Every structure is written in structure tokens, then in C-alpha cells.
Structure 1
Amino acid sequence: MLGMLTGLWRYRGFILSSIRNEFITRFSRSRLGGLWMIIHPLAQVAIYALILSNILAAKLPGIDNKYAYALYLMAGSLAWTLFSEIISRFLSLFIDQGNLMKKISFPRITLPVIVVGSCLLNNALLFVAILIVFALLGQSPNLQMLWLVPLTLSVVAIAVGLGLILGVLNVFVRDIGQVVPIVLQIWFWFTPIVYPVSIIPDYLKGTLEYNPMFSIVSAYHSVMVYKESPDLHQVLITLAIAVALMLLGLFMFRRAVPEMVDSL
């Protein structure tokens, strides 16, 4: 672990320049540039809001805002977008960078760190856009939003842990790359992002405890929509799971790097 941290520090310039170059290259020929990173998730929120708001708006108790459902959607989407983007990019990261890993000697851990940095930049821009939309809809920022710092770190830790495990496995078993997008779709609908927890039957609510994204998304809703502190007990449990997953992912990545280079 110390060797990874040392390598990251020595190659910090490479990491920062790679994140910047990726951002510039990604939108170099686009008239709207980085705005597309904001437009896509907000457009998805708008579609869900238009289709489902009339059905679910009356079932969001405790929110004194006629745009309650749109606020609820945006808060949950902020967490899920970061989570799914990291996992999706990690899934093919080592395959896409196979030639680089075989030809150049550098700390391989810099590759996932560059992806995380890029995803965090995207998420930060989306957060700013959501704050502006919140303000336009009459939902002012509040001090409880400071909780988003540890919550975002939890999302990153869970996504990095799962992403590294799946990305390594995908090098050796390419079917993983086909299965994971389907699993993420199912996972999305089993997480209360487009619907409130209150509409879930009581006999199914217990299953939500096994979904680590449930407590994080619920915390985002509490902080951004209800202006309340999240359930600290749930946050600590989720953070512990996140750290464990990230350590497992890093361990697996470190052990598998030499074999990955040979297989790519």
C-alpha cells in the first residue's frame, strides 16, 4: 500500500495532466463542451420527472415544494451517476489501456486514480448545476450539505472497490463486461432513486438493508431535499463496507497486475 501511495505522489503531475487532457479531448470538437456532462443526467431527470411526477408527487411527505419529485430525483441521481460512471469506466479500463500497460513502465495504480479524478470533476460540475436548478425551484442550499463530502467519499470507495474487482476479472473473463451493465440497470431500479421508500411494501423493505447504495442515496435525499442530517449509524456502516470493498479491490488489483499485463 505504501508503494502505491509513493508511486501516486511521484506521478502526481502525470495524473493531473491526464485528467485535464481527458477533459479537454473529450469535448474538443463539441460546441457545448463540458456542458454535455451536465445535460445528459439532467435530461434523464427531466424525463423521469415528466413521466412520474404526477403519480408520485403526492407521496413525498415532508417536502413543502411543488417540485418535490424533481428535487428528489436530482439528489438521488447525483449519487448514482458518480457510482455507475466509476464502475462502468473501470470495467474496461485495463483492456482499453492494455498497450500502455505493456509498453511503458509506470505505477499502474495511476490509471484508476485518473478515472476517479475525472469522474469527480464531472460530478462536481453536475453538483453545481443541480444547486442552480435547486435554487430556481425554491430549494436553497443548507449547511447539512456539508455531509456530501463524506458521502461522496463513501460512493467513491464502494465504486472503486467494486470497479477494481470487476475490471480485473473482465481482463480474464470478458463476459463480465457484458453482464455488469445489466446488473447496474437492475441495481438502479432496486435503489429508491425514481421512487420514494414509502411506496415499497413492508415485506420488501428489509431487503434494502443489503443494498449499500440504499443508505447513501437516502442520505443524499435527507441532506439535499429534507435538509436533515443523515442517519449517522447507517452512514458509518456504509463507510465501513466501502473501505472494506476498496481495500479488497486494491489488494486484488495489486496481485493481478503482472498476470493482467501478460493476458492483455
Structure 2
Amino acid sequence: MFTLLNEVQALWRARALVWVLTRRELAARHTGTAAGVLWPYLQPLLTVAAYYLVFDVVFSMRLGEGAPSHNVGTFLIVGALPWMAFCDAISRGMNSLIEAGGLLQKNPLPPVLFTTRAVLASALIYGPLLAMVALAYAPLHRFALPLLAGMPLLLLLQLLICLLLGYLLAVLAAALRDTVQLVGFLLSVGIYLSPILFPLSLFPENWRWVLWFNPMTALVQGYQQILLQGVWPPASVWWVTLAWMVLSAALLSVAVKRSRDQLVDWL
């Protein structure tokens, strides 16, 4: 883990540069668009608004017993928005080193800066949107303590997992470009292997263990417990999330250590 500690120290020393790079990354996302800075926020916001309009207003669809909410649209929003945030952060983090290859070949900058820039830029878009959703659900639970304290903690854990996995996949993508196609496929099907489109209780009990291979399963459960029911998530949410963080950190430490002398050549 000393390798990761060195990466964190390099990140801290260059924190001012990271902030400048993150702002430029955000600006690049809406350059040339009529909506300007609002466009990155409008896309996911319109998507979740469509869920509510179609499933709750137009069709008035309802979930059965055992679901954390009976309104389908309300249920989908709580899981789909964090999933969109995860996919965006992982995809951009994974491609960050490849996109910065020319710059890294000319300047001895720590590669972790560019992955962090991509993930933080994504967090600055989806973080406020998730906070808005939390504020919309808060009156339903009278601003209960689990919502006020648990929601920021879940957001922080998701950010850390995205940073770890994004950097790990960025190194793997630099070594083997097939990583990009493989992870893109996994992200496209991952929503079906998580309790986002359906409650966990509707998944066959003998196959529920498969869902835990998705790093967002525990976090989505946490969001559902807090936003839909106003209660603290069960211990399994925290333990599984912590396990994913430890596993990601261990793999990342090995990948960074073994790729240190070859990474720039791969790019």
C-alpha cells in the first residue's frame, strides 16, 4: 500500500493543478453547446424526470410487496441516477490516461492527476443532482438523521470507489486497449445485475449472490434505504462497500507498481 500512499502524496502536492484541470474538463464538456454549462446537468436530469413522468404520472405503475417504494418511477430515480454517475466516472476515468498520452509523454506529470481530474469533473456534475434528489425526498422523512448524515457518507464512498476503479482501469486500458470495450459492455449490462430496475426481493434468491459482483449493488441499496424509507442502511451495505474499496486499492497498488516504468511507453 506504500505505492498508493505515494500516489496520494503526489495528488496532494499538485492539488492546485488538479483543480485547474478539473475546471477545464468541465468547460470542455459544454463547449459549443447552446445550453452552455447547464447541458451536462440537463441530460441526466431530463432522464430521471422522464422516469417519473412515464412510470408514475402517465402509467401509474406500482411495485409489489417487499419493495422499498410502491411507485416505479420514484424507485428508478433513486437507483438510476447514482448508476449514471458511476458509469460516467468509470468511463471517463478509464479513458483519462489514453486521452492524456501526448501530454504525459512530454511532461513528467503524475498520471493519477488525469484520472482524478476526470472522476472529479463527473462528481461535480452528478453530486449536485444527487443532492437535489435528496432534498426532494427529505420532507417525506422529516429530514431524518439517516438522510442528513448517511447520504453524504454514501456519496463520499461512491467517489472513492470511482477514483480507485477508474485509475485501475485507466492503467489496464493503457496496457491493453481491449479493456475499454470489455468495461463498456459490462457497464451496459451492469444495470440489470443490480437492484436498480427491480427490488432485490424480486431477484431469484438462489442467484442473488451474483448481484454482489457489481460494486454499485450495495451503494444502490444504501440510497434506497435512506431516500425511500428514511432509515440507516443495513450493515451489509457498509461491509460490502468497504470490501470493494479494499479489493480495488490492493489491485490498483499492484497495477501502478508494475506499470510505473512502462506506462508512458504504452500510451
TM-score between the two structures when normalised by the length of structure 2: 0.84
Q: 1:184 aligns with which of 187, 194, 199?
A: 187
The structural deviation recorded for 1:62 is 6.8
Partner of 2:18: 15
Of residues 182-191 and 205-214 in structure 1, the stretch that sits farther from structure 2 once superposed is 205-214
Q: Is the 8 A contact 2:151 2:223 kept in 1?
A: yes
Residues 47 and 127 of structure 1: CA distance in aligned 2, closer, same or farther (over 3 Å)? same
Partner of 1:59: 64
Seq. identity, %: 26
Partner of 1:168: 171
Q: Unaligned 5+ residue runs, structure 2?
A: none
1:47-86 equivalences in 2 (<5 Å): 47-49=50-52, 52=55, 54=59, 56-59=61-64, 68-86=71-89
Residues 20 and 109 of structure 1: CA distance in aligned 2, closer, same or farther (over 3 Å)? same
1:246 aligns with 2:260: no
The structural deviation recorded for 1:222 is 0.2
The structural deviation recorded for 1:221 is 0.3
Partner of 1:262: 265
Q: Match of 2:7, as an amino acid?
A: M
Distance 1:32 1:129 in 2: 20
1:201 aligns with 2:204: yes
Q: Is the 8 A contact 1:42 1:74 kept in 2?
A: no
Residues 167 and 62 of structure 1: CA distance in aligned 2, closer, same or farther (over 3 Å)? closer
Partner of 1:226: 229
Q: Match of 2:48, as an amino acid?
A: V
Q: Is the 8 A contact 1:160 1:246 kept in 2?
A: no
Q: Unaligned 5+ residue runs, structure 1?
A: none
Q: 1:6 aligns with which of 1, 5, 9?
A: 9
Between the two proteins, the alignment pairs up a number of residues equal to 261
Partner of 1:143: 145
Q: 1:157 aligns with which of 147, 160, 163?
A: 160
Distance 1:216 1:36 in 2: 26
Q: Deviations over 1:196-243 (max 9, x none)?
A: 223223333343344332121111100011111001243123213213
